[in-house]
Amino acid sequence: MKQLVLVFIGGGFGSVLRFTIGKFLNSPEDGIPYGTFLANILGSLLIGIILGLAAKHEALSQNYTLLLATGFCGGFTTFSAFAYENHVFLKAGDLITFAVYTIGSFVIGFLAVFGGMELAKLW
């Protein structure tokens, strides 16, 4: 039960932060979801750092990992919004934005996870 509460609390904080970032950075004028992109990239970097620290000499307990990686990062990042935004680009025929957003999100997201894992090795 304690683990469920930790994931719930972390997810709540992550979701509120993602909502706040999206509210300020997602652009209704040009339709570019900068907030979603930023949340997904930062979340990828954070999960790399968190899981890197957890793996390194067990620097983080399982409870902290659940709170931060599963809860916070899970609530902060959003694949569903990413998928919907790409649907909107495709429906509007905006293939260039679709391609740049999709490829950029995947490539930079993976690099952020790997970078986070490498940063964790420094601590």
Residue 36 annotated in ligand binding:
no
Residue type present at position 1? M
What tokens appear for 56 in the block? 């390194």
How far is the CA of 32 from the CAs of 2, 4, 36, 108, in angstroms? 39, 35, 9, 17
> What Å distances lie between residue 46 and 32, 56, 100, 105, CA to CA?
23, 15, 23, 15
C-alpha 29/C-alpha 34 separation (Å) is 12
Q: Phi and psi of 30, rounded to 5°? A: -105, -5
Q: Please report, in range form, the residues annotated as the binding site for Na(+).
A: 74, 77
Q: Please report, in range form, the residues annotated as the binding site.
A: 74, 77
